[in-house]
Every structure is written in structure tokens, then in C-alpha cells.
Amino acid sequence: MALTTYLEAIRQGIWEEMEKDERVFILGEDVGVYGGAFKVTAGMLDHFGPQRVIDTPISESAIVGAAIGASYMGMRPVAEMQFIDFISCAFDQITNVAAKSRYRWGAGVPIVIRGPSGGNTHGGPFHSQNVESYFFHTPGLKIVQPSTAYDAKGLIKAAIRDDDPVLYLEHKYLYRRIKEEIPEDDYVVPIGKATVRRKGNDLGIITYGAAVYTALEAAESLTAEGVETEVLDIRTILPLDEEAVLETAKKVSKVIVLHEACLTGGAGGEIVARIAEKAFDFLDGPVMRVAAQDTPVPYSPPLEEYFLPQTDDVLQAARKLLAY
């Protein structure tokens, strides 16, 4: 079985869903003739035609608004944000129309809004953000971020089949770096279910996206110090798999929550709060957060490296917590 990249897994997932369901279509900037900024939609225009692969004007609000309208007419749109940073231009459509639709009048909005997120590619402050926290506070939305090629395909298929709006965040640093064998058979990764990437009993790191690999690298280093670290990949940011989070916290008693987004107001704070509320008696130390600095994402490679949470940052927090 050939190795499949994270990017190709996403492309395969969308392609297969379009083959299976004629209601699924793609819209976004440069998704057709150009094949997408990162080539996720390459070849789709020729195969599916211009009625199902639609190049749009540069207006994220219009893209999402059109997707919502199409979903009301029975379609299942997949809307691409060329860079996820520009999703802010569609904030009103997402939070006040799509997210509230089922609550207001019982109509689901089966749309997927997907796009490249995250840093470590030297894209600067407008092409490197992690936007999950902007939407984490909005009931009615689902937010996912895969860390593996297997999950990338399984989650995009689950998102397209979901009857409510899903924000599908693709970490662009992983696009061509992560490769693995994935099944040829149809499969989905259920939204709302975390997975343990590494088992351990001494310390837990709860994380998602590209930070999973930072956590695994730190866990490997800690093994040399006699510390067995559990790494929990939540995969779905909203709704959070609280059961899995609490299970890891109760098992290891000392927990770090790691994410690439800025520290203040990040999704990690909610995870910490739930552990404190529902697993406090099992803890042997404070739940610690490791995250990016509270600044815009720097363009300079050395500054970006300092800005992003690194393996050494995780190790420093781990040693402090283990000594508590």
C-alpha cells in the first residue's frame, strides 16, 4: 500500500464524497482552474465540471453566504478559505446565520468550511493563524483539526456527511510532511472522539493538530528520564471529547495542555477548566498550559520559532510539573 500525504488524504476524501453524492460541491477562490492555493482541489474541475467546482470572487462572506443558501436548497457545499486567516471576513455568516439556523427554525446547514491554518511555514501574521478560539464560543458549530493522513481523510468525509456546519482546519505544515498508509475502503473518523497517540502513566499531554508531533517528541525525550507520557489527540475541538480528557487526567494525575494558538483565550483554557472541575481529586499538580506567545505571528523565522511552542517548552513544563 502506497504512502499518502496529509494533503492527498484530504483531496481523496472530498473527491470520494463528490463521486458518491451529487449534492456535494466545492466553492472558493482559485479552487477550479488553479486547483487551490495548495493544490487540494487539483483535477477536480476537469473531472466534476464547473457546476460543482466553482471559482468565486475574493469575498469570504459571499463564499460562506452562498454555501449557506445552497445548503438550504438541499446541497452540501465544501467552502475553501484560501488561508484560514481570512475566515474572519465571514464571521457574521458563520456565527449568526449558519451556527444558529437549526436553533432558530430547525434547518440544518450541512456545510464544511475548510482551509490551511497554523504556522511554522514563515507566512507572517496574515497567513499563519490558528482561528479555532474565535469560533469555539459559538454553539451550533463543530470544529475539527486532524493530525494524521488517516484522520484527515476520515474527518473530511465525516464533516461533509454531517448535517450541521463544520469548520475543518488543515495544518499546512503537515500537508506534505505527514505520510502514512490509509485504507482504500470507505471509512470515517467520528467527529467528537479523541484518540490516544501514546500511552503512559506518569504524565499526560492533551493536544491537537501539528502540536501532536511536538508532544510525541517531548514524550520520547522524557522516556530517557524514566517518565512514561500519555499523548491524547482530541482531534475534535468542538464538541470536546470530555470523557477522554477526564480519563487521561485521572489516569496520569499530572497534565499539560498544549496547542499552537496563543495562550490567552485559547481552547486549552476550557480543557483545563473541565479537568479542574471534574477531576480535581485525581490531580497531583496544577494543570499547565503550553501555547504560543500572545502576539501576532512573526514573519521572521527565528522570531516565529520563538513564538511557537517548541519541544523544549513542553519539556520545561513537564519537568516543573513532575517535580511538583
* Mean local confidence (pLDDT), 143-172: 98
| pLDDT at position 219 over 70 | yes
Query: Full-prediction pTM beyond 0.85?
Result: yes
* Mean local confidence (pLDDT), 145-150: 98
Mark whether 122 is an active-site residue.
no
* Mean local confidence (pLDDT), 112-116: 98
pLDDT tens digit sequence for 63-90:
999 999 999 999 999 999 999 999 999 9
pLDDT tens digit sequence for 10-69:
999 999 999 999 999 999 999 999 999 999 999 999 999 999 999 999 999 999 999 999
- Domains recognised in the chain with CATH numbers: 4-180 (3.40.50.970), 195-322 (3.40.50.920)
Instruction: Report the distance separating Cα 87 and Cα 114, nearest Å.
Output: 9
- What is the helix (H) or strand (E) element at residue 243, kind and residue range? helix 242-252
Tell me the residue length of the chain.
324
**Annotated active-site residue in 47, 122, 127, 171:** 127
pLDDT tens digit sequence for 232-284:
999 999 999 999 999 999 999 999 999 999 999 999 999 999 999 999 999 99
3-state helix, strand, coil in the chain (%, to 5): 40, 20, 40
* Mean local confidence (pLDDT), 166-190: 97
CB 15 within 8 A of CB 45: no
Computed over every residue of the chain, the mean pLDDT equals 97
